[in-house]
Structure 1
Amino acid sequence: MNLTYIFSGFAVGTLVGLTGVGGGSLMTPLLTLLFGVSPTVAVGTDLAFASITKATGTFTHRLRGTVEWRVVRLLCLGALPAAILATFGLKYFGGLNKEIGQVIRYSIAGSVLLTVIALLFKSKMLAWLNAHPEKQLHGHKLDVATIFSGALLGTLVTISSIGAGAIGATLLVMLYPRMSSAHIAGTDIAYAVPLTAIAAFGHWWLGSIDWALLGALLIGSLPGITIGSLAARAVPEKLLRGILATTLTLVAAKLIL
């Protein structure tokens, strides 16, 4: 088993524990750029990785009562059909060929840049919403917007494996500005479990999961997430997010160029 993959899993797991940013925005570009894994296989393997790690996180949040299940159901109404349609789209257009691999590469770059925007401007967007309560959605409009957001995330996650972390949490903050941070995190993780599981199953069907690579990443990431979570309080969040945003911007530029 490749020790480099185990170490990479540990490094990404530690960063996820420290920052709370989804592993996809870190792991998928890492596999593509550093190890030369094809974009399709990188996405498929990372989705299988995410479905396992997020299931553990959901169990913890459920015990703490920090999951808004009604919001989870609305997100899934949009996300799960979108994930299935995106999988069939990859199958129809040839998910493993070179041209689609390039499209996926650009999709990864776009998703990484959206993650950067979410990291840098989430608090400012939330402050604006709180200052303009008349702009907040309610009732049926809020439900429709939640379902639509789920569909957008389902498509992004299936194609690029990125979106269920920082982007999903930012959309939840925009739609539900009164929801506590703990409930945002718990809800974001909970809806991502069936989404990443369905998307991973679709990539298994496409033949784009490297199981040996997945095993090595899991061996490294699980202790990494634990250590990162324990150390999170000792490291200034603003500094970490700034470094992470800079790194992800450079990653996106490298993917595009």
Structure 2
Amino acid sequence: MHALAITDILSILTLGAALGFFGGLFGIGGGIIAIPFLALAFGMEQALAQGTSLAMMLPILIVGWWRYTRQHPVALGTALPLAVLASAATYGVAQVATGLDSGLLRSLFGVFLVLIALRMLTGRRPAGNADGAGVFDRRWQPLVGIPGGACMGLLGVGGGLLATPIFTQVFGQRQTVAQSLSLVLVTPCSAVALLTYGRAHQVDWSIGLPMAIGGLLTVSAGVSVAHRLPERSMRLAFAWMILATALWMLLKPLILQGPW
């Protein structure tokens, strides 16, 4: 971590505000935008970009979890085992991720972005079954914490994107309930991942904390604007942007013929 001038702090606050706004606007975690930006624009190693992004995301997730679960509470008997399994998976995988080669980790993140973009371009937002029936009994829902937590540990993002469609399509939950369950999963995972990346010195707090403050100031505004704009047009535009970013992350080493 390094000392920053006031002008640098103001610039990072502004960046965090922009990321928070667009995260709220597109209904997708700000880390999906922040990580490639930190890696490509700031030249950070991939693990450092993921850890720094977690410092920005965690306060926003805590606020989002608190606000969402007030409207859609999750029973303690479901929330606790889900959070524990997810956190354990996050911790174990994050221990490995912080030691991976940066190029490999960045390639994995790029492939993840491609898959997310293609899903947004070709699929519809999942909805729960109208009759509430699922493929499996809902007592097995805490097991979703294992793949969701592993994704958070490896990439610093994506646990909710992976878990939400499982809750709706496999367990027959309504979309709002699935999103509440995903926040129960992702919020403690983000805390565990942040601590693990921080212990491995893969967090730049001088950038992550000002970004978090900026994001907290604008995420609600992004959500409000999203409700007034055509959802399909926004999701398509965001998907194309994510796809272009992912392809650049994957192809940049080949184009430059050298280390990142």
TM-score (norm 2): 0.83
Of residues 196, 213, 219 in structure 2, which corresponds to 1:219?
A: 213
- TM-superposed CA distance for 1:188, in Å, is 1.3
Is 1:154–2:149 an aligned residue pair? Answer: yes
Give the counterpart of 2:189 among 188, 192, 195.
195
Which residue in 2 is equivalent to 1:16? 23
Residue 28 (structure 1) aligned with residue 35 (structure 2): yes
Match of 1:182 in 2: 176
Identity in percent: 20
Larger CA deviation: 246-255 vs 5-14: 5-14
Once superposed, what is the RMSD of the aligned Cα atoms?
2.5
Q: Which runs of 5+ in 1 are unaligned?
A: none
- 1:166 lines up with 2:161 in the alignment: yes
> Contact between 1:17 and 1:225, CA under 8 Å: does it hold in 2?
yes
Counterpart contact for 1:40–1:101, Cα < 8 Å: yes
Shift of 1:73: 3.6
How far residue 122 of structure 1 moved from its aligned partner, in angstroms, is 5.1
Give, in whole Å, the separation in 2 of the partners of 1:143 and 1:65. Answer: 18
Distance 2:179 2:76 in 1: 12
Whether contact under 8 Å (1:55, 1:190) holds in the other structure is no
Name the CA shift for 1:103/1:160 in 2 (closer, same or farther; >3 Å). same
Q: Which amino acid in the other structure matches residue 137 of structure 1?
A: V
The answer to which structure, 1 or 2, has the higher relative contact order (CA under 8 A, 6+ apart) is: 1
SS of match in other structure, 2:227: helix
How far apart, CA to CA, are the structure 2 residues paired with 1:111 and 1:71?
28
Query: Is the partner of 2:159 in helix, strand or coil?
Result: coil
Q: Could you say which structure has the higher helix fraction?
A: 1
Aligned partner of 1:240 among 190, 213, 234: 234
Deviations 1:106-154 (A, max 9, x none): 1211221232244345537659x779x7xx4222xx555x445322221
Superposed displacement of residue 76, structure 1:
2.8
Retained in 2: the 8 A contact 1:149–1:171? Answer: yes
Amino acid at match of 2:246: A
- 2:79 and 2:249 map into 1 onto residues whose CA distance is 32
Cα offset for 1:194? 0.8
**TM-score with structure 1 length normalisation?**
0.83
* Amino acid in the other structure paired with 2:136: H
| More off after superposition, 159-168 vs 201-210 | 159-168
Unaligned runs of 5+ in 2: 1-5, 252-260
In structure 2, how many angstroms separate the alpha carbons of the residues matched to 1:167 and 1:114? 11
- 8 Å CA contact 2:144, 2:166 repeated in 1: yes
Structure 1's 45 and 106: CA in aligned 2 closer, same or farther, altered over 3 A? same
Aligned length: 243
Q: Give the Cα–Cα distance (whole angstroms) in 1 for the partners of residues 135 and 97 of structure 2.
A: 34
